[in-house]
Amino acid sequence: MKYKLLFLAICFNVTIAFSQNKADTVSVDALEKETTIAVSDDVKIPHHTGMVLWLNEEWWQALLQGHKEVPTESKNTILTTMGRYDVLAVIDLINDSGYAFKYTDRKTILNYVKMMDKYGGTIKPYSEEEYEISLTQILNILKPMLQSYMGNMASHIEFIVYPAWESATNRYFDPYKSGSFHLKYNSIDHFIRLPLGSLLKPKWCKKCKEMRNGSWTYCPYDGSLLEEK
């Protein structure tokens, strides 16, 4: 039994080692493509459109990597704070009359959106009263920043903040490990497959002679085993 556990532990570590083939630089755009969930025509909410962006620690890292003007000390404060949380940036609107949009309020959004753990239970978000000061400050800076490239729509973003860690050593959703990020948006289940390819070094297909998504094991065009470069 002891040896079996030891064997499992070794296998587990090997898996982690494989999935830790981190990319040197991460494109925020590529990451967001993987971590955005779009919802429309939900059967229970007609004329409804929603968008959820999962802001994890890696998103903050990628974002700050592109901002050389931000002092290292500030970057460290942001990363230390935001590393404790998974934040969902949600925009939700209803087009009732056919031409005018109505943005959904925070209370309704909190009813629509549920982040699910791997056991199928819901993860409880923090209430705004529970936010630590540095978290509030960072979210206050984030909104106008998003506004600069999303326009007025960004002022209707609601941030929902969840704990990123289920225990001292385990994240709910580790974007480098195999698994899935699970979100329930009203009646519909959405999954993001992990690891996220945008965080990993691309792999090489020797048959196609092209680079492929780092989260893939086989080339989707010819089934060749992809190689780490």
Binding-site ranges for Zn ion (CB under 5 A): 205, 207-208, 219, 221-222, 224
CB 35 within 8 A of CB 72: no
Nearer to Zn ion, 114 or 212 (CB): 212
Residue 39: C-alpha distances to residues 25, 27, 85, 98, 100 (Å): 30, 24, 23, 18, 18
What does the alpha-carbon distance between residue 20 and residue 7 come to, in Å, rounded to a whole number?
Answer: 20
Alpha helices in the chain (DSSP H): 2-19, 28-35, 57-65, 72-82, 106-112, 133-150
Nearer to Zn ion, 165 or 216 (CB): 216
CB 190 within 8 A of CB 39: yes
Nearer to Zn ion, 193 or 207 (CB): 207
Nearer to Zn ion, 51 or 208 (CB): 208
Cα of 45 vs its chain's centroid, Å:
25
Shortest gap between Cβ of 25 and Zn ion (angstroms)?
24
Shortest gap between Cβ of 29 and Zn ion (angstroms)?
25
What is the helix, strand, coil percentage profile of the chain, to 5? 35, 30, 35
Shortest gap between Cβ of 211 and Zn ion (angstroms)?
10
Surface-to-core class of residue 30, CB atoms within 10 Å of its CB (0-12 exposed, 13-18 middle, 19+ buried) = middle
Shortest gap between Cβ of 31 and Zn ion (angstroms)?
24
Shortest gap between Cβ of 39 and Zn ion (angstroms)?
33
Nearer to Zn ion, 39 or 219 (CB): 219
Nearer to Zn ion, 164 or 226 (CB): 226
Shortest gap between Cβ of 19 and Zn ion (angstroms)?
21
CB 51 within 8 A of CB 190: no
Shortest gap between Cβ of 184 and Zn ion (angstroms)?
36
Nearer to Zn ion, 10 or 225 (CB): 225
What tokens were used for 228? Answer: 């780490």
Q: Nearest residue to Zn ion, using CB?
A: 219
